[in-house]
Structures are given as C-alpha cells and as structure tokens.
Structure 1
Amino acid sequence: MAFSRLPLIGLKANDFRHPLDREATEALKQLPGLDLIVRQLLGSVGEQFFYLDNIASSVLVGDRQLPELYQLLVEACQVLDLELPQMYVRQHPIPNAYTFAMRGKQPFLVLHTSLIELLEPAEIQAVIAHELGHLKCEHGVYLTLANLIVLAAGQLSPWGAILAQGLQSQILEWLRCAEFTCDRAALLATQNPRVVSSVLMKLAGGSPSLSPHLNLDAFLEQARAYDKSSSTDLGILLKEAQTGQLTHPLPVLRAREIDRWSSSKDYESLLQKKGKMGYDGETEVTGEWRNW
C-alpha cells in the first residue's frame, strides 16, 4: 500500500512542544544540584552498562536486518527532519519502547517484540516517531536520568538512592509532560490522529487477539468522559493521586490531547508552513507496507 506525507522541512522542537513540557523543563533547569545527582546516578549504574547490555541482548535494525522496520524509521526521520539514530528490537513480554541519548555516542531507540506484535505497521511508525520526538526536543540528559531512575533504582548506592528519591517526583512530572510533546511528534510523522490514538488504545487494553475488535471511536468517547469526570475539585485530587508516580500520562489523557491538537489551527498551520518549505508539487515520502 503506497502512502505519501510531506516532509516537514526545517521543523524545530519549539514548533510543536507542548506547553506543559516547556513549563516542566524550565522548572527542572532551576533545580539545584542536578549535576551532582546525575554524576551519582551515572557513577553507580553507568550509561555504558545500558549501552553495552542493549548491544549484547538486542537486534540492530538495518536495511539487511528487519528492513520493514528500518524503512519505518527512515520515513519518520525524513518527515520530522531528523538524523537517523540506531534502532534495536529486544525480546520482552511487556509492550514498550524507549530512547537513550548518551554523551558522545549515537542515540538509539529500542522496541520490544511484544509491542511490535500488538501494533499495525502505521502504529509502529507512530511509536518510532514518538521516540524520535525525544531526540528532536533534545530531551537527552533528563530522559536518560529518568530511564536510569526507572530501570535501575534498585542498583543505586544508598547516597544515590536518596538523591534519586528526592528527584523522582519532579523528574516523573517532567517525563509525563515530555510524553505529550512526543505524542505530537508521532502525529506529525503519521499525519493521522486516529493512528496515534489507536496505539494508545491498544496499550491501554489491547492484545494480539483483542486488538482487531477494539473500537477507536468508543475509546475517544471514553477519553472525553474521563476529562469531564475529573474536572471537579475532588476529581482533580484523585487524578493527581492516580498519576503522581507514573512515568507516562494515562492513555485516555494522551488520546484526548492528540484529539484536541489534531483539530487545532496550530497543527494545521504547522503542516502547511513546514510542508510547503520543501514542496515542489512532486515531493512525497514513499514506501510500501508489507505483511509481517
């Protein structure tokens, strides 16, 4: 099946950064002692450990290795006007994807096999583009710190654990806000809000056997209902208690945000402005979906 989307020539992170991401990033920059905390965490766990562990335990995707997935990565990078990172596939029963951007090394993405089995090709590309959004927005240091806290909290020295615990709440708040921005990157790459919302629906309640039977319109209605029910003072308190220790916003909230932004003038004008910069009447990103 052929498809085409305009590459967003000259796209900048601030063109699509979510307002909550801006606020949380500025708050994190003001946090005293962040450099010390980073050194403590990286000194006891080490970025290098995760990098080497990933190479040893995953499969590097390329034009000769899982070329269908590699093509999805190439196309997403073209649309988002971003240099190509490495991408790995890792055997894991929990559907997930994550990004590491380490000092002096090429950044890389990781997709779990269970995620790939759950999603259609267009949805996989939305996930890839979401991860590329972290790179586009240069979330690197904070994102690596968040990943280290989440993945390695039990391996920290006592001093590092105390520092991590003190930082965890603010880091997680920043990470949840950054996820809203990266969902926008997924939308810009796929240019189809239903694809992005479908990913969120399947992550909330899908499985390889159930996914074909899920109703996206019903899920979007569910997202709007959640929004209304949490608009009271009690609802706001319960929502904060529900999300305070999460690394990602709730799927229904993410679907609601994408639903809103996809119908906004900001989104439409961004596509028109950046798409036309490199459009000569013939430009398209081409590829072919294959059956997996």
Structure 2
Amino acid sequence: MNTVPVLLAAASQVVTKEELNGIAEYYNYFGEMSETHFDAVLSGKEYSKHQAALIYHCCYLYFALAGRKGNSLAGLRRKLGLPKSVYMNSLKCISKKRINFIRDELSGAGKSFADVFKENEKYVEKMLVEATACDMPEDRKILTNLSSFEYEHPTDRSYLNKLNTNVVIEKLIKLYSEYNFERILLVQYTGSNIRVTPKNIPYLYNALKTVCEVLDVKNMPPLYVAPGSLNAMTVGSSKPIIVISSIALSLLSYDELLFILGHEVGHIKSQHVLYHSIGNFIPYIAGVIGNLTLGIGEIAVKGVLILLYQWYRMSEITADRAGLLACQNIDAAVSVMAKLSGYPPSRYDEIDNDLFLDQAVEFENFDKNAFDKLLKLFSVLYKTHPWTVMRAKELKSWYDNGDYARVYNTEGRRKVDRKPQNIVGTIFEKEIFCANCGKKITSAQRFCEFCGKENIYYK
C-alpha cells in the first residue's frame, strides 16, 4: 500500500524540509513493519528527535489498525532513543475512538489502507502531528533571562511611556473599570469556549508551554479555543487569557502555531494588554455615552486616541518579533502573515513568501504620490493593526539586519539583573497593590484600573 504521501504531509508539519528526505526512506517500508525492517532502515541512520518521534507514532498507528501487538514497537522506541512517555502520548492522541473511526472506514467495500488514508488525509495527518507534538523534544533555544526591552520596537516603548502619563488615558481607564468591560470579556470567553489543558487538546497546550519556556515567561496564561476566522487575541490585563480560533489548528503548521501563540505571549510580556483593551473598548463606550470628550474637548481626545492607535500598531510589530523568537523560523512567520491576508487554504502549498514580501515594496511605492500617502495615513488612523504586508516586511527586515540574531544568541543578550532606567510600569518593578481594592497594579497608573481610585504609588 502507498500511504507515504499522507505520512510525509504529517512529517512536513513537524520536521524541517531537509529532514524530510531522510524520513521518506523509512516510510517506504510502511505496511511491512517488523523488527527486520526496523533494523534494515535504522542501521547506520541517525534521525533527529522530531523524525524519531514521528516515525514511532506512524508505526504505532499502523500496528493499531492492523490489530498487531506492540512488542516490536518497544524495540523500535529503544532503537530511536525515545523515552517511555512517547508510548503514552500515542495512547492519548491516537486513541481507540480515532482508530475505530478509521477501521469503520476500512469496512467499506473494497477499501484498502491506502484508500482510507487518502480519503481521510487531514484526519490522519492531524492525529499524527498532535501525537508527535505532545512529546516533541524541542530543539528550539530557550532564551533564558530574555527581556522584552531587547526586541521591542523603540516607538512602541516611547509611545507607551507617553500613554502611561496621559490624563485622557487615565479617564478612559476609569470608564473601563466602571463599565466592567474586562469582566464581561473574561466571562464571555471562559464561559463559551474550550479550555485547553494537558488532557484537552494536548497538542495546543504543549505548543503554548514551549512558547512560554522559549520566551522565559514563568506564568503560562490560560488558553481557550473559540470558533471564528483565523485569529488569536489576548484579553484581561490583570489575569490575561489567550483565545485562539479553532480553525487555526487546521490551517497552521506547528511552527506557525508557535509564531501566533508567541505573538500573544509577547503582548503579555510587554504589558500591552491593558491599553489594547482600552483601544478595543473605545468604540463600545463611545456608542453608550455619545461623543467621547471626557470633559476635556473633542479635539484633545481625538489627538490622544490617534496616539493610542499609533502605539497599538507599533505594539503589533513588537509582538511579531516575540512570535519569531518563539518559533525561530522566519519562513513560518511570514507564511502566517500570508494566511492572515486571505490566502485560500486550498492553495497554501503554493504560498511564496518572496512574492508576498514583494507586495510590501509595491505598497510602499504609493508614498511617492502625496495624495496616495495621505490616503494611506487616514486609512489606518484609527486601526489597531498595521497593514499585514508591512508587518511581514518589517519582521523580515528585523531578521535580515542582524537584530534577531543579536537577541537569539546568548553572547549577544545581556542578563537582566537590575531595573532599566527611566522605565516605569514594567515587569522589573516590585509588585504593588491598590490601597482601596487590593488588586495588583503598577506605579505607572494614576488610577486603579479595577476600582478607579487614585493610586498612592503613582510615579
């Protein structure tokens, strides 16, 4: 039987392109799995950890479908140098329910293993990728002592410091607190969507765990899966949660998934979430109370809102950098941008990152005409995200100019052992709590975001 194309599709999700050639030889034996074939293929071969895990899970799937006992699998596991836990992950992800589904398909008249694998290609592929990712020994570099200041876009930090001391923003935070907007969002997402745990969608749980380890984030945020288009978001400034669309699990490769989760964890690490929430809150509150002047004047308020949305867009650039540091694969990062831009899923195998990046050059050429430049400016004035092609170009430039390598390489990164100068409201600050309600706050906020009372620790 020829199931190799399906298995290689699964392999392409979790191994590099260079590793695929090595794993293809092994898959040519699929259907004749035995100790003899294990020895024949493994003799003199060295497989990466990613390859070894996927080979094992593919063999487990075959043995389960064929109703064969797994004594040979134990020998294969030892030959591949895999831990015993890899077997438990096969049991967890390649479950009896899934095996029975494929067996039911096999019961159809005249169907072979190859027919069923081909007809259910995405189902089989997803199952194998999940099983492999659950126990995938990550080769990614852990960026110990990583500080967000090392990769933040300078405009992001500059604008954020201005927002921290702005009177209009303080009034918006008070309104945000009074309307309990954050509480509404948290109740909505935690009550209506699927919580990801080590037992519930372990593939996704382990992806987020990897991201947090790589980016040196000690407290892993709760993760939820929600219906909707390809997207992810972070809500809740005091106790943030990440929400990712269910379709992302089907449309993104493992490295792409790490990028999009790393992007969201980057927002948390840089403390973007409160002001992101304010930016998303403004249209809602403006609709409730009418013209948003806050007793200051419409022009002044609009000026601050423009600053807020300018910062918001710059914060997305910072988060993209965090995503790249998490996945450590520039091609995967750019391909996520292409998919977010609307590339049809049926054509994902045709994505050309270079052509997509060329669009950014064409887009920049609009600046040559003053009127077109003005149109571009006004089109994003109150938008939270930059143009996607420009995000991709900005990230690729950051990668190409050596800044990514500087942060990635241990020799190029400093150990953070003191609070940076002239920076307030950061992760380096000692924890403080509101004297009125007891909630955790930062010294950068003049008013508590939870109760609206004045912050006695305000700097």
Could you say which TM-score interval applies, normalised by the shorter chain? 0.7 to 0.9
Give distance in 2, aligned partners of 1:97 and 1:277. Answer: 31
Higher relative contact order (CA 8 A, sep 6+): 1
In structure 1, the residue matched to 2:104 is none
CA distance in 1, matches of 2:245, 2:306: 26
Contact residue 156 and residue 314 of structure 2 kept, 8 A: yes
Residue identity matched to 1:142: Y
Mapping of 1:1-16 within 5 angstroms? 1=14, 2=50, 3-16=138-151
Kindly indicate whether the alpha-carbon contact (under 8 Å) linking 1:80 and 1:189 is maintained by their aligned counterparts in 2.
yes
* Aligned twin of 1:75: 210
| Matched AA of 2:289 | S
Deviation of 1:7 after TM superposition, in Å, equals 0.5
TM-score, reference length from structure 1: 0.85
Aligned residue in 2 for 1:254: 391
Stretches of structure 2 that go unaligned for 5 or more consecutive residues are 1-13, 15-49, 51-137, 416-459
Equivalent positions of 1:188-267 (< 5 A) are 188-231=325-368, 233-267=370-404
Give 1:197 deviation, angstroms.
0.9
2:221 equivalent to 1:85: yes
Q: Single out whichever of 136-145 and 83-92 deviates more from structure 2.
A: 136-145
CA displacement at 1:128 relative to structure 2 = 0.4
* 1:129 corresponding residue in structure 2: 262
Q: Distance in 1 between matches of 2:221 and 2:339?
A: 26
How much does 1:41 deviate?
Answer: 2.5
Maintained 8 Å contact 1:117/1:208: no
Residue of structure 1 equivalent to 2:97:
none
1:134-181 per-residue CA deviation (whole Å, 9 max, x = no partner) reads 11111132122123236x35763337x555974543322111010000
Matched-pair contact (CA < 8 Å) for 2:231–2:248: yes
| Count of paired positions | 273
Change (3 A) 1:35 1:236: same
Give the TM-score normalised by structure 2: 0.55
Give the 3 Å change call, closer, same or farther, for CA 228–148 of structure 1 in structure 2.
same
Q: Distance in 2 between the 1:123 and 1:235 partners?
A: 33
Q: Relative to structure 1, is the Cα distance of residues 246 and 67 closer, same or farther in structure 2, using a 3 angstrom cutoff?
A: same
Aligned equivalent of 1:287 = none
Query: Match of 1:209, SS?
Result: helix
**1: CA distance between counterparts of 2:411 and 2:338?**
29
How far apart are residue 235 of structure 1 and its match? 4.2
Gap change, CA 1:273 and 1:232, over 3 Å in 2: farther
Distance 1:264 1:233, change over 3 A: same
Give secondary structure in 1 for the equivalent of 2:200: coil
Match in the other structure for 1:156: 288
Q: Using the alignment, how far apart are the partners of 1:96 and 1:45 within structure 2?
A: 24
Equivalent residue of 2:393, what SS?
A: helix
Q: Deviations over 1:25-61 (max 9, x none)?
A: 1332342232221111331242111111111111111
Show the 5 A alignment for 1:44-59: 44-59=179-194
Whichever of the two has the greater Rg, that structure is 2
Matches of residues 106-121 of structure 1 in structure 2 within 5 Å? 106-121=239-254
1:271 partnered with 2:408: yes
Shift of 1:273: 2.3
Q: Distance in 1 between matches of 2:379 and 2:321?
A: 23
Q: Does 1:19 align with 2:151?
A: no
For residues 240 and 213 of structure 1, the distance between their equivalents in structure 2, rounded to whole angstroms, comes to 32
Q: Distance in 1 between matches of 2:287 and 2:168?
A: 21
Please report the RMSD computed on the Cα atoms of aligned residues, expressed in angstroms: 2.4
Contact 1:41/1:156, CA 8 A, preserved across alignment: no
1:244 deviation in Å? 1.4
Gaps of 5+ in 1: 279-292
Identity of aligned residues (%): 29
Shift of residue 115 of structure 1? 3.3
The question of 1:102 aligning with 2:245 is answered no
Q: Is the 8 A contact 1:44 1:157 kept in 2?
A: no
Deviation at 1:69, TM superposition (A): 0.6
Question: Contact (CA 8 Å) 1:101, 1:135: kept in 2 or not?
Answer: no
Q: Which amino acid aligns with 1:85?
A: P
Q: Which amino acid aligns with 1:203?
A: L
* 1:271 CA drift (Å): 1.0
